[in-house]
Amino acid sequence: MDLGSSDEYEEEIEEACVAIMCIEAHCKRRSVWVHEINLNRENDGEYHTLIKILEKEENSDRFHMYFRMSKNQFNYLHDLIKDKIRKIDSKFRRAIGTKERLAVCLRFLATGNSFRSLGFSYKMGFSTVRSIIYEVCEVIGKMLGPIVMPPPTEETWRTITEGYKNIWNFPNCLGALDGKHINIRCPINSGSDFYNYKGNYSIVLLALVDANYKFIAIDVGSYGRNSDGVIFSNSQLGKSLASKSMNVPHDKPLVEGGEALPDFEPENDHFNQAESGLYNLGRLRQNYTQQAMYVRDKFKDYFMSEAGSVPWQVERVRRGRQNM
């Protein structure tokens, strides 16, 4: 073996190794555990400065303006979910507190600010803000859902129908149903799923409310291209009503001595499944008879006419026109 060629070979190997090390050192991105502007979060972050001041103020108006809720509501919500969102301190750093995590989430829900904007305000990493908001929102939904919107019982439905009868002069009504398009940016690779008839991209909020505009049930997130009827049929509410598992009361007559008719939901034209505009919940033991349809149409025409309208509502509309 030639000694000279061996030395040249070793030199080439060394040069190649040095070149590889230089390339790796140049390409390797520098990373830090916590960015330097976030190191003083507990001194300069918005929660530890502004919010601490708002909590001490006797007048809670500014606190309500900031979070869209009162101090008592904030504390109630915090006590309800704090055990679900608490994190354990590590050897390297102290975990973000439960109140601060809730504050970040509520501020996002109140303003819609970007994760970056909240990150700068609260002195947190952008990915940290994102994970906090996703996690806290999920916990709030799970904990508050059964409290603020429990599954309706038969007694609840009776209360709702009485409300429509007393307030709106509309008997046998289980609730008012409609859908609302919420505009969004077109998601990546979504095709035309979210493209609606208005020429925008949206998801749909489907809601059922009682006579006092209180939500009874909702369905959120359906594709904007779907009609309200399709969304309702595919929603948990629609499926539950179709399977008669929603504790809907038994049929009762509209007038004393009349034929028992099922409860229904008034809807807009997108939901209608019959010329009467009333959705059949299938509560009769047999299909609709001609007599039942005739009675239903008569009552529908009456309650939609001026003679059957609610007096206080007509008076309010009349006063409004005079003031215009």
Residue 267 has pLDDT above 60, yes or no: no
Residue 9 has pLDDT above 90, yes or no: no
Nearest to 77 by CA among 166, 148, 144, 174: 144
Per domain, the residue ranges of the chain are 36-147, 154-311
Residue 74 has pLDDT above 50, yes or no: yes
Distance CA 20, CA 166 (A): 83
Residue 182 has pLDDT above 70, yes or no: yes
pLDDT, one tens digit per residue, over 93-123 is 788 899 999 999 999 999 989 999 999 999 9
pTM given for the model? 0.63
Who wins on pLDDT, 136 or 20? 136
pLDDT at 8: 67
Measured in Å, how far apart are the chain's first and last C-alpha atoms?
107
pLDDT at 278: 44
